[in-house]
Structure 1
Amino acid sequence: MTGRNDEGAGMAGGKSPTADTDVLVVGAGPAGLATALQAHAHGATVRVVDRREHRVRPSRAMMLHARALEGLRPLGVTEELLNRADTTPEARIHLGRRTVEARLGHADLPDTAFPHLTLVRQADVEDVLWQALHARGVPVDWGVEFRGLFHGLTAESGGVPALSEGPVHADLQDVHGGRGVHRSRFLAGCDGQSSTVRGLLGAQWRGGPYGVEAVMADLELDGSLDSGLLHVAVGQAGLVFLFALGEGATWRMLATRPAVPSPDARFGQLGPPVPAEEVARLVRESGLGAAVREVRWSAQIPLQHRIASTFGNDPIFLAGDAAHAHSPAGGQGMNNGILDALNLGWKLGFASTAGRPLPELLETYGQERRLAARRVLALTHVIFFGEASPHPAARLARNVLPLLAPALPMLLRQRWLTSKGIRLLAQPFVHYRNSVISRDGTPPAKAWPRPGARLPDASVSVDGKLVRLHELTSVPGIHLLLERDAEPVASAALRTLLPAEGQGPLLHVHRLTSHPGQGVVAVRPDGYVGFRCGETDPVQLRAWLRLVGAAPG
């Protein structure tokens, strides 16, 4: 059962769908595609379905941050993403009659290979991820809607039946009305803010709507705006952004305006077009000194701040906008969904191939990512309050900001300030130190980050060659970093821990001759430290590997 395009064959007469898989991903946005790619890279068979008939759609997000790029690097897609991106963006901030230049592509961040803001269309991100899945033979079927679950012979539309004893039976319907059942071990709901999967779980959708909404438009403008820059206009009513990244025209506009409450609002979705005169008013009142010549496309987007009361449990999980909804402030939405995917995908992959239940591992997804989402939601809430809130305090701050314009150039020339801002958007506050799979051995290897912390990039020596840590860990799987004097028995004892025949190795051992000591550090597939120990004790190491499904039970 597939959609009507050339990316899949059609289903006739409601016959059975394609072969069953370990993982069924519902939703082919960035979170769904990245979940599929990460799960497949770690041993799972995967299928993706999306109710959209067409793969290409207007972009809502326009930015990737360093942590998302680091996590995607082992999946082999980062280079193509950067080929389509602007990695040296410069902004012109318009404060009434004054303008301030800000360079955003030259941050002083030595612990990452991506020390910059990266402007890239969501459509390009989705296309790169889809092409990677296509090259690996992972089906992505368009025009196929997830309708609910079958339990026995009855379709379930609410409340999750006791499925841990057997596969998930997904009720799917294609654009022709054909119905079928797809069986999978796991179901990943990446189906957006109006998620069918979230409703099936019965998860509460906590939060509320914002009093403002976003307006997006692709425009042709008259005026002297430099198309090589990101333009930001700060006004009493809010911010207006203009990027030369339009998909149907030269310019993409993102602006905010007061929202009109509606019971039919489709939060986070592209709504109806905005009248051309309203788009022209937003540009005119921004003070950017440009006039709208033509509106090629526009949409209003109701905004909300919400988080699901649960991110799921075995065998059904939520990721991306199905699990949390943000304002567009700080460009966090697409990034946070990708980070969900990178966390969930490897766990589903290992759980699919372990040959035994891994309840502790699977429970860590919700434990880790829900706390991370709450922190990111708090950050975006604060930023959005300053950018767009109609609250008198926020309006006053935006009115005062032009008075500070003479001092801003000097501040923005301080690279430490730019670096701190870019680092903040890359979520340095997200860690998994309290996770049950973040373990310190005895004695701990204190020279390394604590378990649950991100592994920073750094120069190291391996067999006399100078390399970067993130270069070493740039292939899927778990990476064991042995210090220079570590007992060689560690690598010999782990030779049995390769996956089934036909798959690439998912356990990699590197001896760092630049790091004296006898310890070992295990790096998770999503780039976080999982285990560290001051000695290469095979008992402790194998216990952690068994916990995450990388060693026999």
Structure 2
Amino acid sequence: MKLTERHTQVLIVGAGPSGLMMAAQLLRYGIQPVVIDNKKGPTNHTRALAVQARTLEIYRQMGIADEVLKEGKPAEGLNFYYEGKRKGIFPVKDIGEEQTPYPYVFIYPQSKNERTLINYLTQHAVAIYWDTTLQQLSQNNTLAEALLISEGAEVKITADWVIGADGAHSTVRKQLGIAFKGDTYPSLFYLADVIADQQDDFIDLHLSDKGFAGFFPTAEPGGFRIIGAVPEKLQDKELTLDDVLPEISQVTKTTFRVKECRWFTTYKLHHRMAEEFRSGRSFLIGDAAHIHSPVGGQGMNTGLQDAYNLAWKLAGVINRKLEEKILQTYAAERMPVARELLQTTDRAFKLLMSKSPMMQLGKKWLLPKVISWLWGNDGIRKNFFKRLSQTGISYRHSPISIDLSHSSRYKAGDRLPYLKLYDEKKQEETDLQAWCSKPGFTLILMGQMAEQDLLNYARWITHFYGSGLNFFYLPLTKRNWPVFYQLEVKQNHNKTIIVRPDGHIGFMCDSADIDVINNYLQFTAGLIRADK
């Protein structure tokens, strides 16, 4: 399909995972964006290797999780080696049991994520304009204008809003004049996607005084990604996998036999973050906003969550369901997440790469024992999974998080927990997150309430908020007592929870008061009532 001059509500620059997720989420709210990318088509390289539980929860809300699960596999765990000797084994499969429907790290590479999202968009008639480059971007208070080169021809596009999802070298970011502060790590690294004559569902991390090598199983039989540092003696030459295989053997003290090399490249790692995530009518998401070392498999997943956080807010503004002030919360919520991620991955990466004699001794003797001791603590394991899986990300300090509850386990701003329940109305088992699968905010009332009161709530929602507010009632029953216990609902009390469209708790209160609920929706969240 040829791109022609037009006006669009949203122009998305970049059709990697973040840009595709942004388009897919906007589509859920009836908005069809224009998506462009300077590549000739979707990538065939695996690039990012895994999706975390929080990403799978997003796919579940979109109705495509089952499709994704068929195409990948959970990682079994991590083997830690030093000088070829295993110093520790740390299982991770089902480590997050009862915290999420997906209690593991799921091996599902970037290429498959992109294909899944492209299929989703194609099925809903959203085209992606490949071989299209952003040349110039300008904006004023009401409009953005983009000059594009599409298939060799100039095309002008005007847009109400622009999303920069165009990676670390973002043209959008540069055109907006936003600084990308940080640094580049001095070492050169190699990456190889191979098919080997062995099968292992564990991630193997090999450390030695010669360097490190990480082996990450891919979804196909015998598939591995190998990552390591290029020795200084090889850094000035054009490399192939054969050049680094002897180095891998020195680190692992074994011979690794490769049947086929699918992809080999060398690269530098960076840790940088945009000084702003928004300028006027333009936003930055994913690698355009922040890049960091691959420690922990957080990069692609963080970009997907950027899109997930921004899309419902932008859609609400476009559809005149939300006041424009909601857009200020994107940077307020996501910049602290990116900043903390850069700090933690930077510390972990520097520890991994350190060659000082003291650190080498620490990695050989102390680090495995410390990790093993920590891993034996159930609470520490669960907290580790929350960080790794991104289910622990919270927006408690967001201006749209209001907590009027005594609860200590969960607060407004936290992700809505995965708690199984029995739907008394439908007479079926489900869970809280499944109740919040539709677009819009979700009001959940818990406790003992009269039929007439529930009817009044339903009428009030229909009259003032319509499809912008979904409504569920959970009565106290023997089957649902565990939910009441986890959410710390006091005996003979009610509880109100308002869940944002992205599955985070926006409001929580130990009573059910229609005026208080309305004040939150109208004056804090900025929902525009139907009678306005």
Which TM-score tier does this pair reach, normalised by the shorter chain?
Answer: 0.7 to 0.9
Structure 2 residue 17 is the aligned partner of structure 1 residue 25 = no
The code of the aligned residue for 1:378 comes to: Q
Distance 1:296 1:195 in 2: 27
Structure 2 residue 458 is the aligned partner of structure 1 residue 491 = yes
Distance 2:381 2:39 in 1: 39
Unaligned runs of 5+ in 2: 477-483, 485-491
The offset of 1:246, in angstroms, is 7.9
Structure 2 residue 412 is the aligned partner of structure 1 residue 451 = yes
Structure 2 residue 206 is the aligned partner of structure 1 residue 233 = yes
| Equivalence for 2:487 | none
Unaligned runs of 5+ in 1: 1-8, 150-155, 263-271, 500-504
- Which one has the bigger helix percentage? 2
| Equivalence for 1:532 | 508
Residues 82, 247 of structure 1: alpha-carbon distance in 2 compared, 3 angstrom cutoff: closer
- How does the TM-score come out when normalised to structure 2? 0.86
SS for the counterpart of 2:11 is strand
Is contact 1:354–1:549 with CA below 8 Å preserved after alignment?
no
The offset of 1:523, in angstroms, is 0.4
Distance 1:273 1:352 in 2: 50
The offset of 1:433, in angstroms, is 1.6
Structure 2 residue 264 is the aligned partner of structure 1 residue 298 = yes
SS for the counterpart of 2:73 is coil
Tell me which moved more, 73-82 or 250-259.
250-259
SS for the counterpart of 1:274 is coil
Q: 1:74 aligns with which of 52, 58, 61?
A: 61
The offset of 1:370, in angstroms, is 0.3
Structure 2 residue 249 is the aligned partner of structure 1 residue 257 = no
Distance 2:500 2:104 in 1: 24
SS for the counterpart of 2:80 is strand
Distance 1:329 1:214 in 2: 13
How much identity, in percent, do the aligned residues show? 27
The offset of 1:372, in angstroms, is 0.9
Q: 1:85 aligns with which of 68, 72, 77?
A: 72
Q: 1:39 aligns with which of 26, 29, 44?
A: 26
| Equivalence for 2:474 | 512
Distance 2:500 2:526 in 1: 12
| Equivalence for 1:395 | 360
SS for the counterpart of 2:74 is coil
The code of the aligned residue for 2:413 comes to: G
Is contact 1:41–1:349 with CA below 8 Å preserved after alignment?
no
Query: How many residue pairs end up in the alignment?
Result: 505
Residues 534, 313 of structure 1: alpha-carbon distance in 2 compared, 3 angstrom cutoff: farther
Is contact 1:26–1:188 with CA below 8 Å preserved after alignment?
yes
Structure 2 residue 143 is the aligned partner of structure 1 residue 167 = yes
Distance 1:439 1:335 in 2: 27
The code of the aligned residue for 1:279 comes to: V
Is contact 2:82–2:364 with CA below 8 Å preserved after alignment?
no
Distance 1:411 1:449 in 2: 24
Residues 448, 496 of structure 1: alpha-carbon distance in 2 compared, 3 angstrom cutoff: farther
Q: CA deviation digits over 1:458-496, x for unaligned, max 9?
A: 123332544211121233321111123353222211114
The offset of 1:418, in angstroms, is 4.5
Residues 274, 419 of structure 1: alpha-carbon distance in 2 compared, 3 angstrom cutoff: farther
Is contact 1:249–1:296 with CA below 8 Å preserved after alignment?
no
Distance 1:380 1:494 in 2: 44
Structure 2 residue 250 is the aligned partner of structure 1 residue 285 = yes
Q: 2:438 aligns with which of 459, 475, 484?
A: 475
The offset of 1:313, in angstroms, is 4.0
Matches within 5 A, 1:414-433: 418-427=381-390, 430-433=393-396
Tell me which moved more, 512-521 or 429-438.
512-521
Structure 2 residue 409 is the aligned partner of structure 1 residue 434 = no
| Equivalence for 1:212 | 187
Residues 459, 219 of structure 1: alpha-carbon distance in 2 compared, 3 angstrom cutoff: closer
- How does the TM-score come out when normalised to structure 1? 0.83
The offset of 1:39, in angstroms, is 1.8
The offset of 1:70, in angstroms, is 2.0
Distance 1:173 1:329 in 2: 36
Q: Which has the higher contact order (CA 8 A, sep 6+)?
A: 1
| Equivalence for 2:46 | 59
CA RMSD of aligned residues (A): 3.0
| Equivalence for 2:423 | 462
Residues 394, 531 of structure 1: alpha-carbon distance in 2 compared, 3 angstrom cutoff: same
